[in-house]
Amino acid sequence: MVLSKLLFASLLISFVLFHFVDADDQTVHAQTQGSLLQQIDCNAACTARCRLASRQRMCHRACGTCCSRCNCVPPGTSGNQEVCPCYASLTTHGGRRKCP
């Protein structure tokens, strides 16, 4: 009799703990999904980044590729690569920086 009550109590406690762990996991997952859904406007960011480039179409195409991969474009028309490390780390097959 005591053994069955002890077993029932331990199962009940386990169920409650699993419920709290699952609820916490769903909260973390929802927060992660929310941050992934925030995409920057690559077209506008690349237009601003490439506005002074001599070859605007090529600049805009390369910037758009980098922006879609990194979801980041450094501010200004050149430099500021440290603001977006992913953007700065992308290179061409020749080893040069891909992103303008």
Packed helices 42-49 and 56-70: angle between N→C axes, nearest 10 degrees: 140
As a whole number of angstroms, the distance between CA 100 and CA 85 comes to: 13
Q: Which residue has the higher pLDDT, 23 or 74?
A: 74
Whole-number Å distance between alpha carbons of 53 and 6: 75
pLDDT in tens, 36-70: 557 899 999 999 999 999 999 999 999 999 999 99
DSSP category for residue 91: B
**Structure confidence by residue, pLDDT tens digits, 17-31:** 566 656 555 554 444
Nearest by Cα to 62 from 99, 16, 27, 94: 99
* Tokens read off for 62: 């390369």
Interatomic CA distance for residues 25 and 40, integer angstroms: 27
Give the whole-angstrom CA distance, residue 80 versus residue 82.
Answer: 5
